Amino acid sequence: MWYLAAHWNLNPKMCNQVRGVVRNFIWGGKASNARAKVKWNTLALPTTKGGLRIIDPKTQLEALLAKLLIRGLAPGGEPWKELLRHRAD
């Protein structure tokens, strides 16, 4: 999933669906709707701060797209970099 997300901007509805799947698995162990017992922001915290270090899909997506942009603006003449530069302009 993260490989695809690194090259494609998921819309907020899709991010919420991914969060829902992860939440249901954590609290219910299956795909059915499970009631969350802790806020999502708390789950994303490091374990030293009481969280479970769960990766937030929206934050991860933004980080991966920023990484792609930075790599695309680096020197080089690869076709994908040229396309990215053209789109950024």
Terminal-to-terminal C-alpha distance of the chain: 28
For the whole model, what pTM was predicted?
0.63
Cα(59)–Cα(62) distance, rounded to whole angstroms? 5
Distance CA 68, CA 47 (A): 29
Calculate the CA 47 to chain-centre distance. Answer: 19
pLDDT tens track of the chain, all 89 residues? 666 666 666 788 888 888 888 888 888 877 677 777 888 888 888 989 988 888 888 888 888 888 888 888 889 889 988 888 888 77
Q: Return d(Cα 22, Cα 36) in angstroms, integer.
A: 11
Which residue from 65, 43, 46 is spatially nearest to 56, judged by alpha carbons?
43
pLDDT of residue 83: 85
